[in-house]
């Protein structure tokens, strides 16, 4: 039997500025509909258990992991925060 655990944290940044043309044909006016600035963060925790079976030349593994993922997205221009949480069952099986 083997027990494992993994934890991952990541952050990213997306800053996109869009401009509209003014009367002098210069792109100086910020387009508020198409401009955004997001901060993203993701946290993932995955515990798991695997059972190993050996019989002569044959090896088999069976087990499962549970994935807990939290995503957070902040729009800094309008102050909006969106969060999502996921739970995943990840089965494991192999035969050699």
Q: Which residues pair with 81 in a beta bridge?
A: 74
- Whole-number percent of the chain with pLDDT over 70: 100
> What are the tens digits of pLDDT across the range 7-45?
999 999 998 888 888 888 888 888 888 888 999 999 999
Q: 29 or 49: whose pLDDT is higher? A: 49
Q: How confident is the model at residue 68, as a pLDDT?
A: 96
Task: Give the residue, 83 or 56, on which the prediction is more confident.
Answer: 83
How far is 5 from 66, CA to CA, in rounded Å?
Answer: 10
Q: What is the value of pTM for the model shown? A: 0.68
What pLDDT is attached to residue 47?
Answer: 97
Residue position matching structure tokens 């992991």:
65
């Amino acid at each position: 039997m083997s027990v494992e655990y993994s934890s991952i944290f990541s952050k990213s940044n997306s800053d996109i500025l869009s401009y509209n043309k003014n009367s002098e044909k210069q792109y100086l006016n910020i387009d508020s509909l198409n401009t955004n600035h997001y901060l993203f963060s993701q946290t993932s925790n995955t515990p798991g258990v695997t059972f190993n079976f050996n019989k002569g030349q044959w090896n088999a593994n069976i087990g499962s992991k549970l994935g807990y993922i939290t995503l957070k997205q902040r729009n800094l221009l309008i102050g909006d925060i969106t969060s999502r949480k996921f739970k995943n069952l990840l089965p494991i099986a192999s035969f050699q």
